[in-house]
Amino acid sequence: MRKLLLGTTILGLGFGAAEAQTLNILMESVPDTRFVEELLPEFEAATGIDVELEVVNYAEMHTKLVPQLVSPTGSYDVIVVDFYWVGEFAKAGWLQPLDERIAADGFDTSVYFDSLQDLVGQVDGEQLMLPFYNYAMGLTYRHDLLEDPAEQAAFKEKYGIELRVPETWDEYLQQVEFFTRDTDGDGKNDFFGVVNQGLRPDPIAMEWSNYLFANGGRFHDESWQPMLDSPEAVKAVEDYKRNLEEFGPLGAASFGFDEAFNVAAQGKAYSYLTYNMFRTAYDDPSQSAVVDKMEIVAVPNGGLNGAWGWAIPNSSPDPDAAWTFLKWVESPEIAKKRAMLGGSPTRKDVFADEEVLAKYPYYPALENLLATSHNFPVFTYTPQFVEVLGRELSLAVTGEKTAEEAMQTANAELEALLKQDGKL
């Protein structure tokens, strides 16, 4: 009935529409989704466009999207795309280029971080998405312990260097070892230097990428030649395995990010290398026992970047209304409001906003995270490569393969996938 009334109103106003315009959006369940949902009434009031926001589990989103995108007309006007589907979606031509609309409306895309434009903005010079929110990985650690004079003295005595926010990878590994303890004297460690997310495929693959970069390794060289059989990559696997086995909790080989976060949030770990949006979660007393005790910093050598982008699929029934929404949701005002609610912004102006900085003093650290981060290889078969890498790492961690064997297989399979994609 409400729809009908609205429809007649619009008809009366001379918009010529037979019924209320409805925009269908498909999103995954991320914190930012809730904030967008909260702000939707503003959009509806400003434009008269009704929004139907459908939210699905992030892991299942791909399964839901693909049949939609393959067909000529789908149900969704606007979708969000994870960075590791970008190569695949671009190759299949499922997304509408936004360049003409951007030029026509003078929408400024220079406000986005370059690393995010590379990841979830432009593909081969075409703007296929607008960066929506970032989940670059960083090192979260117990700053209360790090700043404790007793700990500092003990650390200096043991390692001969200062205990400080780690600037080198070796320094961090020493801290991990240092903080791993048996606090109740039962012969088993119950406070851990690090908690890892060893679940196949993306949790372990994403987390390990930081170990790779930290060791100076890379996935491939400038000409896409894979470099996973390098000594740096093998060392990264060994570091990872050692952290997980010697300095981490039992069962970390099966942890997803939820299990790992809970170990850190319960105050049982010194550090957790994870997505930056967990920084906010540590300060939420309903899920964390370490409120105000955790801080985030860039991984030495730069960590892994990650982000989602807004896109208009080719199967979109109403691309014009979709663009109206994109312009609104990525406008400076709304982007700022989302950040104030606790979102993960992608625009530089939001990071520079005084109100935002006053509320979230750790934003400069996040900005640094984005500026120093490295991208995962984005090509058509990225998801498949994540599977391969996850499997091989898991085999190495459980001792079914050596680090060398695992990396050789991963390297060979990456090469095969790159060849299949024509990159090699």
Cα–Cα distance measured from residue 81 to residue 130, given in angstroms and rounded to the nearest whole number? 10
Cis before 201 (ω within 30) = yes
Phi, psi for residue 172 in degrees, rounded to 5? -65, -45
Q: Which residues pair with 79 in a beta bridge?
A: 26, 311
Site for another protein (CB under 8 A): which residue of 242, 383, 412, 416? 383
Kindly state the greatest CA–CA separation across the chain. 80
Residue nearer to another protein on the CB measure, 253 or 322: 253
390 counts as binding another protein under rule CB under 8 A = yes
Site for another protein (CB under 8 A): which residue of 109, 262, 368, 402? 262
Q: Which residues pair with 75 in a beta bridge?
A: none
Q: What is the CA radius of gyration of the chain?
A: 23
Q: How far is the CB of 112 from another protein (least distance, A)?
A: 20
Q: How far is the CB of 179 from another protein (least distance, A)?
A: 16
255 counts as binding another protein under rule CB under 8 A = yes
CA distances from residue 282 to 268, 285, 292 in whole angstroms, order as listed: 13, 8, 8
CA distances from residue 93 to 120, 123, 155, 285 in whole angstroms, order as listed: 15, 11, 55, 44
Residue nearer to another protein on the CB measure, 218 or 268: 268
Site for another protein (CB under 8 A): which residue of 24, 210, 305, 316? 24
∠ CA(257), CA(262), CA(264), 5° rounding? 95
Q: How far is the CB of 216 from another protein (least distance, A)?
A: 28
Q: How far is the CB of 162 from another protein (least distance, A)?
A: 30
Site for another protein (CB under 8 A): which residue of 362, 380, 411, 418? 380
Residue nearer to another protein on the CB measure, 59 or 153: 59
For 39, half-sphere exposure in the C-beta direction (CA atoms, 13 angstrom radius) is: 21
41 counts as binding another protein under rule CB under 8 A = no
Q: How far is the CB of 294 from another protein (least distance, A)?
A: 14
CB atoms within 10 A of CB 412: 14
Size of the site for another protein (CB under 8 A): 71
Q: Which of residues 43-62 bind another protein (CB under 8 A)?
A: 52-60, 62
Q: Which of residues 174-233 bind another protein (CB under 8 A)?
A: 198-201
Q: Which of residues 121-160 bind another protein (CB under 8 A)?
A: 135
Residue nearer to another protein on the CB measure, 155 or 421: 421
